[in-house]
């Protein structure tokens, strides 16, 4: 419970309507896109400017009240569930696109802007912002920065971190820092911009961002390759990269995913295939033509059972829509869907899919796999029912083993969703005890009183690594 | 694989409303919502308020919180359930296929079970839901009375003495755009069977609707005419009653089910290929009669027969009809710009979106202009604009901004509520150039080259 004085001061900052402690506000900000997590905050606040955020943080700092800043709350790592109560700060009102600078090819935005709306805006100006997480219709740029979101185009274009040039952020004590700028080169001190990207709201509250834009690719071609043997698909991925072609998109869907997506999107996907690869190249017409021809040949060499080049943009868009709805379409199988993002070096993708299937079988759980095959970022997705505690436990054990397998293959526990709550017990597996200590030191330097998104990233206890495959 | 059913939480709620919600809400559907948030941008009340409680994800979270015992179903909870327009735009946006429309109906049904309405409201609800809507005769009387009011000079008199000032602004606004009512519905004008013109390609039954048949009887007549022209024999069952949509949306599920049974009986007497509607709002409930009556052993299968046959006129004409030619009334009219506002229920529940557009494009010398966000609710929502005037008015204002940009001469739609709302929007916000709101059937009928 907040004391009346705090509530009054917060109300004075944002106005009566935008600071709420009523039951419905608390309940509807007690969750995010992560299954089986819920915790009520003590208040919800909607700032409209960096100055608002500053003033709010001064009050919260004075009374040592924790705060979880968030956009649309669509993350999958329990990153914005207010586990320690406190205040949830919703950034939706800060949704201005401040400017698009055509000379420097940058955009300056408030971080509450919806990613999809921002992308539509810059594309209407003939420019391109490549990071495209599957949730972009509802996710905010601020949320994307906090989680360092990836997307389908990560392989060729990189992820959110490659497109953020500068940030305005409010520190736990209410001070404002500005990092970077409309600059390609800037080595003045530690790179705080990169440090804040992916910091999951634990270091500062990001209120404004300068984003890098690139020219919109002139053409795009989409190819679909289907395999009755999933390993043929995996070999194709490795082979394309080995041939030094970097496609804009290189996605994989396994059979379970194919069926579910087709039920949802009804686009006539072949339901008897073990895997589908969605391959896209963009850029100058000649280059696209040449690359796609070469890719076509590689697919044939790896014995693709069916090959289809999308005839037009509409068809291509449909196929991409299928991939985009994969996660959520899986939710139709069972009430609860747990989606992870274990990532391996792209050369190990076949081994990882093989291993995932094996683990799913061992624990007798349903796991469908799809994901960004080109950058090694897979989404093994378990479908279960939160009410079946015994099964959920088996799913958790299976995922622990999947994380372990990913690390063994030189990969990581999370490629693009973040650590948040659910991956915290595994962080040490990846970064080691010394790595955790450094990270904790950074956290303490930014936020000595642990007010910003507490209980995230660092677990009270690291999960025991029960499955040791190395010897 | 199917959804496993693990049942509801074992809680005995002290709060009686919470207990009813626990009993009535489909807990599997509540669990199926995985809170991905994809519904948020589709929701008109979330867009207007920017507040999570006014979103489908928020409302489902609150329903679940009440059932789980985390939250009391207080007045604010009830208000939030009632603020939902019921446009169901969240459903096509939901990848997990959560039946939000059913959940909100179940919630309102539970709320209504415990509602303590003031006496006047209670009398009004009882009159409307128990007397007026279910009974065919009362609609005739209303139609007759309204027609008398409009034609006798009483309306002029009322306006002259400023009588409408006694009503809240939004009621007065509505009154000013009401079309000419009539006590003569489609059956009184055409009888109960109208044969196809030329060779018959099918037999259909027409669902005439209660508001449609009083306020827009002409549209019903035109609908039959279009159907006959397109090659269908048309039955209009005399025993049909109100579809029950307004009951269902207002939490009067028992009444809605009773009406559904009457309609199923009325239509099953005829051997028809389709049951045609021209009102998205009615059609959306009719097509879900199998859900409405799914617990009724005696009617379950019959309701499925009924629901499987429901189709909107535009969809039927495009998919199965022998389309007549359509051309402008006068050659001198030149090219006419036309736009179309989706009926939410037609689009989101009956899944008919392209057929009306395709039909309009078939009219010679028509330039079809797609309005931005034509798929978004106009704020009408059955009686929503009467009970939630502020929100409805905000939504309408944004709608008319987009309408204005189209520079269309005709704003077409496929549902009486939407049509009235569009008329109101045009009256209130006066687009730059003259714009007329019409039911798509009337627009087409006026331009149809009859085979007669």
Q: B387 exposed, middle or buried (CB, 10 Å; 0-12, 13-18, 19+)? A: middle
Shared domain for B109 and B123, answered yes or no, is: no
Q: Which of B113, B133, B151 is the last residue of a domain?
A: B113
CA distance A404 to chain B (A): 27
d(CA B112, CA B218): 35
Shared domain for B339 and B309, answered yes or no, is: no
CATH code, B219: 1.20.1050
Q: How does residue B3 score in pLDDT terms, banded at 50, 70 and 90? A: very low
Shared domain for B403 and B285, answered yes or no, is: no
Query: How many structural domains compose chain B?
Result: 4
Q: Which of B181, B246, B182, B240 is nearest to B207 (CA)?
A: B240
Regarding predicted confidence, which is higher, A229 or B236? B236
User: Domain residues for B106?
Assistant: 16-113
Cβ-based neighbour number of residue B300 at 10 Å: 12
Regarding predicted confidence, which is higher, A462 or B77? B77
B5 lies in some domain = no
Kindly state the tokens that stand for A104: 């420097």
Tell me the DSSP string of A417-471.
Answer: S--TTTTGGGHHHHHHHHHHHHHHHHHHHH-TT--BSTTSSS-SSPPP-------
Q: Which domains does chain A have, with CATH numbers?
A: 4-90 (3.30.43.10), 97-215 (3.30.465.10), 219-327 (3.30.70.3450), 330-446 (3.30.70.2740)
B4 lies in some domain = no
Is it the case that residue B452 has pLDDT exceeding 60? Answer: no
Kindly state the tokens that stand for A175: 């001070």
Start-end of H helices in B384-430: 384-387, 389-406, 416-429
What ipTM, to 2 d.p.?
0.93
- Is-contact A222 A309, C-beta < 8 A? yes
Shared domain for B192 and B254, answered yes or no, is: yes
- Is-contact B273 B310, C-beta < 8 A? no
The DSSP letter of residue A167 is E
Model pTM?
0.90
Q: Which DSSP helix (H) or strand (E) runs through A121? A: helix A115-124
Q: Which of B160, B177, B194 is the last residue of a domain?
A: B177
Residues A27, B65: C-beta atoms closer than 8 Å: yes
Shared domain for B198 and B292, answered yes or no, is: yes
Kindly state the tokens that stand for A173: 């004590």
Cα-trace Rg, chain B: 22
Residues A334, B4: C-beta atoms closer than 8 Å: yes
Q: Which of A407, A403, A384, A380 is nearest to A395 (CA)?
A: A384
Q: Which DSSP helix (H) or strand (E) runs through A67? A: strand A67-70
Is the CB of residue A73 less than 8 Å away from at least one CB of chain B? yes
CB-nearest partner of A24 from B3, B6, B76:
B76
Shared domain for B426 and B307, answered yes or no, is: no
Q: Which of B269, B292, B319 is the last residue of a domain?
A: B319
Is it the case that residue B142 has pLDDT exceeding 90? Answer: no
d(CA A315, CA A308): 11
Chain B residues within 8 Å of chain A (Cβ atoms): 1, 3-4, 6-7, 28, 31-32, 34-38, 40-41, 50-53, 55, 57-58, 61-62, 65, 70-72, 74, 76-77, 80, 94-97
Shared domain for B410 and B436, answered yes or no, is: yes
Shared domain for B192 and B295, answered yes or no, is: yes
Shared domain for B173 and B192, answered yes or no, is: no
- Residues of chain A found within 8 Å of residue B58, distances taken between Cβ atoms: 24, 28
B423 lies in some domain = yes
Cβ-based neighbour number of residue A191 at 10 Å: 13
d(CA B25, CA B59): 13
Q: How does residue B269 score in pLDDT terms, banded at 50, 70 and 90? A: very high
Q: Which of B34, B43, B90 to mutate to test binding with chain A, by most A CBs within 10 Å of its CB? A: B34
CB-nearest partner of B71 from A23, A333, A337:
A23
B451 lies in some domain = no
**Mean pLDDT (whole number) for B242-249:** 90
Shared domain for B216 and B311, answered yes or no, is: yes
Q: In terms of residues, how long is chain B?
A: 452
Is it the case that residue B208 has pLDDT exceeding 90? Answer: yes
- Is-contact B187 B208, C-beta < 8 A? yes
Shared domain for B349 and B401, answered yes or no, is: yes
Shared domain for B256 and B306, answered yes or no, is: yes
Residue position matching structure tokens 């497109």: A163
Give A320-342 as a 3 state SS string: HHHHHCHHHHHCCCCCEEEECCC
Q: How many degrees, rounded to 5, is the angle at CA A278 between CA A273 and CA A284?
A: 155
CA distance A424 to chain B (A): 21
Residues A387, B95: C-beta atoms closer than 8 Å: no
- Supply the pLDDT for residue A470: 42
- Number of A/B CB contacts below 8 angstroms equals 112
Q: What does each of the 471 residues of chain A score in pLDDT, given as a tens digit?
A: 788 999 999 999 999 999 999 999 999 999 999 988 999 999 999 999 999 999 999 999 999 999 999 999 999 999 999 999 999 999 999 999 999 999 999 999 999 999 999 999 999 999 999 999 989 999 999 999 999 999 889 999 999 999 999 999 999 999 999 999 999 899 999 999 999 999 999 999 999 999 999 999 999 999 999 999 888 998 899 899 899 999 999 999 888 888 888 887 777 888 899 899 999 999 999 999 999 999 999 999 999 999 988 888 888 887 777 777 787 778 788 889 999 999 999 888 878 988 998 999 999 999 988 989 999 999 999 999 989 999 999 999 999 999 999 999 999 999 999 999 999 999 999 999 999 999 999 999 999 999 999 999 999 888 887 644 444
d(CA A404, CA B133): 64
CB-nearest partner of B4 from A24, A30, A385:
A385
């Amino acid at each position: 419970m907040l004391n009346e004085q705090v509530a009054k001061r917060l109300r004075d900052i944002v106005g009566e309507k935008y600071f709420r402690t009523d039951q419905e506000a608390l309940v509807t900000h007690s969750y995010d896109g992560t299954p089986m997590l819920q915790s009520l905050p003590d208040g919800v606040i909607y700032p409209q400017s960096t100055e608002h955020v500053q003033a709010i943080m001064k009050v919260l700092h004075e009374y040592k009240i924790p705060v979880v800043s968030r956009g649309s709350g669509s993350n999958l790592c329990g990153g914005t569930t207010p586990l320690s109560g406190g205040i949830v700060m919703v950034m939706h009102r800060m949704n201005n696109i401040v400017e698009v600078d055509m000379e420097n090819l940058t955009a300056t935005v408030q971080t509450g802007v919806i990613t999809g709306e921002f992308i539509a805006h810059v594309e209407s100006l003939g420019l391109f912002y490549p990071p495209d997480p599957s949730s972009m219709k509802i996710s905010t740029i601020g949320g994307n920065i906090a989680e360092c979101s990836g997307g389908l185009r990560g392989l060729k274009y990189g992820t959110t971190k490659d497109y953020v040039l500068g940030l305005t952020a409010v520190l736990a004590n209410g001070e404002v820092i500005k990092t970077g700028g409309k600059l390609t080169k800037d080595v003045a001190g530690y790179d705080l911009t990169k440090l804040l990207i992916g910091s999951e709201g634990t270091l500062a509250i990001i209120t404004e961002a300068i984003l890098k834009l690139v020219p919109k690719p002139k053409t795009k071609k989409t190819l679909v390759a289907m395999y009755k043997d999933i390993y043929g698909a995996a070999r194709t991925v490795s082979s394309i990269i080995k041939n030094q072609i970097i496609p804009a998109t290189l996605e994989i869907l396994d059979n379970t995913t194919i069926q579910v997506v087709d039920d949802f999107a009804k686009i006539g996907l072949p339901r008897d295939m073990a895997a589908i690869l969605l391959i896209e190249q963009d850029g100058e017409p000649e280059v696209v033509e040449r690359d796609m021809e070469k890719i076509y040949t590689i697919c044939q060499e790896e014995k693709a059972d069916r090959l289809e080049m999308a005839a037009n943009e509409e068809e291509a868009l449909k196929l991409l829509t299928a991939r985009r709805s994969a996660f959520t379409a899986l939710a139709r199988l069972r009430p609860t869907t747990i989606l992870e993002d274990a990532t391996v070096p792209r050369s190990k993708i076949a081994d990882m899919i093989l291993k995932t299937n094996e683990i799913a079988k061992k624990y007798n759980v349903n796991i469908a796999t799809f994901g960004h095959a080109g950058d090694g970022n897979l989404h093994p997705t378990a479908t279960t029912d939160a009410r079946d505690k015994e099964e959920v436990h088996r799913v958790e054990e299976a995922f622990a083993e999947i994380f372990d397998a990913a690390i063994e293959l030189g990969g990581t526990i999370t490629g693009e969703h973040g650590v948040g709550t659910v991956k915290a017990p595994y962080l040490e597996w990846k970064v080691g005890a010394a790595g955790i200590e450094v990270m904790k030191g950074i956290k303490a330097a930014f936020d000595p009183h642990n007010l910003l998104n507490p209980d995230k990233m660092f677990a009270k206890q690291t999960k025991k690594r029960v499955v040791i495959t190395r010897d | 694989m199917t959804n496993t059913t693990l049942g509801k939480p074992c809680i005995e709620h002290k709060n009686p409303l919470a207990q009813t919600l626990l009993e009535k809400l489909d807990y599997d559907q509540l669990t199926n919502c995985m809170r991905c948030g994809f519904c948020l941008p589709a929701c008109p009340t979330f867009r207007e308020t920017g507040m999570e409680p006014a979103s489908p994800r928020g409302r489902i979270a609150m329903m679940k919180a009440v059932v789980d015992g985390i939250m009391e179903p207080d007045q604010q909870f009830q208000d939030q359930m009632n603020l939902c327009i019921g446009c169901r735009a969240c459903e096509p946006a939901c990848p997990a296929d959560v039946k939000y429309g059913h959940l909100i109906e179940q919630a309102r049904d539970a709320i209504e079970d415990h509602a303590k309405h003031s006496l006047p409201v209670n009398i009004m609800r009882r009159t409307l839901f128990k007397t007026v809507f279910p009974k065919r005769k009362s609609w005739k009387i209303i139609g007759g009375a309204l027609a008398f009011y409009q034609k006798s000079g009483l309306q002029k008199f009322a306006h002259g003495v400023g009588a409408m000032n006694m009503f809240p602004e939004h009621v007065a606004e509505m009154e000013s755009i009401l079309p000419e009512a009539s006590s003569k519905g489609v059956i009184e004008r055409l009888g109960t069977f109208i044969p196809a013109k030329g060779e018959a390609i099918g037999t259909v039954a027409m669902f005439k609707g209660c508001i449609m048949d009083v306020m827009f009887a002409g549209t019903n007549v035109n609908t039959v005419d279009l159907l006959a022209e397109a090659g269908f024999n048309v039955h209009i069952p005399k025993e049909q009653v109100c579809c029950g949509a307004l009951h269902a949306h207002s939490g009067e599920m028992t009444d809605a089910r009773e009406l559904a049974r009457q309609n199923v009986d009325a239509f099953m007497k005829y051997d028809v290929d389709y049951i045609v509607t021209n009102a998205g709002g009615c059609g959306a409930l009719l097509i879900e009669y199998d859900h409405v009556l799914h617990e009724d052993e005696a009617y379950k299968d019959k309701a499925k027969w009924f629901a499987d046959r429901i189709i909107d006129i535009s969809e039927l004409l495009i998919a199965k009809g022998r389309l007549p030619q359509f051309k402008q009334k006068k050659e001198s009219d030149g090219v006419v710009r036309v736009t179309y506002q989706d009926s939410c229920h037609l689009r989101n529940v009956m899944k008919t979106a392209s057929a009306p557009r395709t039909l309009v494009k078939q009219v010679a010398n028509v330039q079809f202009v797609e309005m931005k966000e034509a798929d978004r609710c106009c704020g009408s929502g059955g009686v929503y604009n009467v009970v939630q005037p502020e929100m409805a008015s905000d939504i309408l204002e944004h709608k008319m901004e987009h309408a204005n940009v189209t520079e269309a001469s005709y704003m077409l739609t496929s549902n009486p509520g939407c049509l009235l709302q569009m008329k109101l929007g045009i009256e209130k916000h006066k687009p730059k150039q003259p714009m007329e709101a019409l039911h798509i059937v009337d627009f087409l009928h006026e331009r149809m080259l009859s085979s007669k």
